[in-house]
Chains A and B, each alone.
Chain A
Amino acid sequence: MPGIGVVESQRIHFSEPLHLRSGGILPAYDLAVETYGTLNAARSNAILVCHALSGHHHLAGHYADAPDNIGWWDNIIGPGRPLDTDKFFIVGLNNPGGCHGSTGPSSINPATGKPWGADFPIIAVSDWVNAQARLADKFGIDSWAAVMGGSLGGMQALRWSISYPERVRNALIIASAPKLTAQNIAFNDVARQAILTDPDFHGGHYYEHGTRPVRGLRLARMLGHITYLSDDQMGEKFGRELRNGSFAFDYDVEFEVESYLRYQGDKFAGYFDANTYLLMTKALDYFDPARLDDGDLVRTMARTHPDTNFFVASFTTDWRFSPARSREIVAALLANGRKVSYAEIDLNFGHDSFLMEDPHYHGLVAAFLGNIAL
């Protein structure tokens, strides 16, 4: 099935300040947004797709002047695809704090006339959801047909169902968790330390020094990448293959897995903003909607709407956001008699499975969305 084809992005300005969970304030901000399909007259067919750590608004299709720049979730969005653009109006955005066109640490701080850098306020998942709610207002969308996301994106979908229960008719929470484990936070902190201790970081104000903490960001991504893959998959893909067939007895790239990781690290460090990476990992660490209910997720999920349908999915080989974490969400929903389906999908790509094209996985998403009455 052909995809959506050529798409365009837009920037939408919000002049009302966004008061943040951290106590900080974003005085005004822009959001980079893409939409696909047509919003129907009743404005009832809109699906919000929330992005994960390194994602953005470019979900699907490609730009006229950049045919190779294909959206990060292109395989699931388009005519006849699970997020069927013949039926739904799909909305993607780059969250505030991002580095793909929305206001973020590299944007100019109006108070100083210089890039925000480290002064950009710490931003939480609930802040993103509030910003997304304002975006829905701009489009005149009272309630989303669905809010959907994987990983950190799934946390946003979960938060939507808690913060704006009457505005979410369906929620798809994929490869996500109700909060991070200590191990997960630990990985994030190693990633942050790699950036924070890079001499080119300059306390987050590297823009003014005409430099970027590329080494730290590269290490952070390499570490992250290991945790997004499964042991089996890495074994199958690289094994102990050597690039030159025999040991060189030095510290250059020898094993194929080293070559792959360095390539991924270099690629990512070439375009991603280190301050955004820091913000995203903190948003992950802080996410814990049950915190305000004394840690009782069952009470928290009682805040969701009884008519909201939930689809929670996990992947058998995902150890960063393991099936057990998704089941916590499911159990809390069930304890409240909520309408929820849960699938544990057998895919070999670890945490990254949620981005893969798989007939069963996509069939489940299509089945769930197919039941939405507009």
Chain B
Amino acid sequence: MTNTLGRPDFDVIAGWVEPGHRVLDLGCGDGALLKRLIETRNVKGWGVDIEDANVLAAMRNGINVIQSNLEKGLADFADDAFDHVVLSRTLQTVRHTEHILREMLRVGREAVVSFPNFAYWQNLRSVLDGRMPVSEDLPYQWYDSPNVRFFTLLDFEALCAQMGLTIVERRVLDEAGEIVQAESPRDLNFLGSLAVYRLTRPR
């Protein structure tokens, strides 16, 4: 599979949607993921973003986009309106973590979440060396980062268990965007720079 420039998680997500599916992309940016899913997977897509520039860029890309603040939930969306609700590289910027995960699985059958793994060995080494990590998947300095939640793959799985969410599938990628093959979650946690999850909840 070829990577979409710097967004290997898009490949994983594209593999999980079926033609005709209704996809909601939270924090959609310029709509690149949806544009790709519409063009290659023939889905119906809507994006949500709060930034003026992103709303404009998404509209220029011909993507349906709703300007909204994710921290306030997804009140504009009805229950079970979507097959997939995507939150790619955005969960770490959302303060109300549990609320947004619940909302995603209220309006969607399945939640797809990708996030940078703070336990990735390069990140750990950076911290051991005395500096906060800056990498392909954490491309910010500590003082200009939009990230407000710092967590690992294992932290996330513990939260899912605590919330009673089912992990349907997990893909872990290294900094180059290659799939990390490892048996134990501990190894994945150490080797993975970016994690992509497929979640459902019992209905």
Tell me, yes or no, whether A363 is within 8 Å of chain B by CB.
yes
**Interface-located stretch among B76-84, B89-97, B194-202:** B76-84
Q: Chain B residues near A309 (CB, 8 Å)?
A: 64
Q: Do A327 and B60 form a contact, CB below 8 Å, given A344-B67, A346-B52?
A: no
Residue among B52, B56, B59, B77 with the highest chain A CB neighbour number at 10 A:
B59
Q: Do A363 and B66 form a contact, CB below 8 Å, given A330-B76, A334-B46?
A: no
**In the complex, given contacts A334-B81, A341-B59, A344-B68, what are 7 additional A-B residue pairs having Cβ atoms less than 8 angstroms apart?**
A298-B78, A334-B77, A340-B66, A341-B64, A341-B66, A345-B52, A371-B62
Whole-angstrom distance between the Cβ of B41 and the nearest chain A Cβ: 17
Interface residue ranges, B against A (CB under 8 Å): 22, 44, 46, 52, 55-56, 58-60, 62-68, 75-78, 81
- Sample 26 A-B pairs with CB under 8 A, ordered by A number: A298-B78, A309-B64, A311-B59, A330-B76, A331-B75, A331-B76, A331-B78, A334-B46, A334-B78, A334-B81, A335-B78, A337-B22, A337-B81, A341-B55, A341-B58, A342-B66, A342-B67, A342-B68, A343-B52, A344-B67, A344-B68, A346-B52, A360-B52, A368-B59, A370-B60, A371-B59
The 4 closest A-B pairs by CB, nearest first: A367-B59, A367-B60, A331-B76, A335-B78
A364–B66 touching, CB < 8 Å: no
Q: What secondary structure prevails in chain B residues at the interface with A?
A: mixed
The CA of A123 and the CA of B97, in the complex, are separated in Å by 51
Interface residue ranges, A against B (CB under 8 Å): 298, 309, 311, 327, 330-331, 334-335, 337, 339-346, 360, 363-364, 367-368, 370-371
Q: Chain B residues near A339 (CB, 8 Å)?
A: 64
Our pick among B56, B64, B67 for the contact of A363 (Cβ within 8 Å) is B56
Residue among B44, B46, B65, B66 with the highest chain A CB neighbour number at 10 A:
B66
Q: Chain A residues near B75 (CB, 8 Å)?
A: 331
The CA of A74 and the CA of B81, in the complex, are separated in Å by 40
Q: Chain B residues near A370 (CB, 8 Å)?
A: 60
B67–A335 touching, CB < 8 Å: no
Whole-angstrom distance between the Cβ of A301 and the nearest chain B Cβ: 12
Q: Chain A residues near B63 (CB, 8 Å)?
A: 341
A335–B81 touching, CB < 8 Å: yes
A367–B56 touching, CB < 8 Å: yes
Q: Chain B residues near A330 (CB, 8 Å)?
A: 66, 76
The CA of A331 and the CA of B66, in the complex, are separated in Å by 10
A331–B77 touching, CB < 8 Å: yes
Q: Chain B residues near A337 (CB, 8 Å)?
A: 22, 44, 81
Q: Chain A residues near B65 (CB, 8 Å)?
A: 341-342
Q: Chain A residues near B59 (CB, 8 Å)?
A: 311, 341, 343, 364, 367-368, 371
The residue of chain B having its C-beta at the shortest distance from the C-beta of A360 within the complex is B52
Q: Chain A residues near B77 (CB, 8 Å)?
A: 331, 334
Our pick among B46, B62, B67, B81 for the contact of A343 (Cβ within 8 Å) is B67
The CA of A346 and the CA of B51, in the complex, are separated in Å by 11
The residue of chain B having its C-beta at the shortest distance from the C-beta of A311 within the complex is B59
Whole-angstrom distance between the Cβ of B105 and the nearest chain A Cβ: 17
The CA of A343 and the CA of B64, in the complex, are separated in Å by 11
Q: Chain A residues near B66 (CB, 8 Å)?
A: 330, 334, 340-342
Q: Do A340 and B60 form a contact, CB below 8 Å, given A334-B76, A334-B81?
A: no
Q: Chain B residues near A346 (CB, 8 Å)?
A: 52
The residue of chain A having its C-beta at the shortest distance from the C-beta of B75 within the complex is A331
Whole-angstrom distance between the Cβ of B189 and the nearest chain A Cβ: 37
Whole-angstrom distance between the Cβ of B104 and the nearest chain A Cβ: 15
The residue of chain A having its C-beta at the shortest distance from the C-beta of B52 within the complex is A360
Q: Do A360 and B62 form a contact, CB below 8 Å, given A335-B78, A343-B67?
A: no
The residue of chain B having its C-beta at the shortest distance from the C-beta of A344 within the complex is B67
Q: Chain B residues near A368 (CB, 8 Å)?
A: 59
Q: Chain A residues near B44 (CB, 8 Å)?
A: 337
The CA of A371 and the CA of B60, in the complex, are separated in Å by 7
Q: Chain B residues near A340 (CB, 8 Å)?
A: 46, 64, 66
Q: Do A327 and B76 form a contact, CB below 8 Å, given A337-B81, A364-B59, A367-B60?
A: yes
Our pick among A298, A334, A335, A360 for the contact of B56 (Cβ within 8 Å) is A360
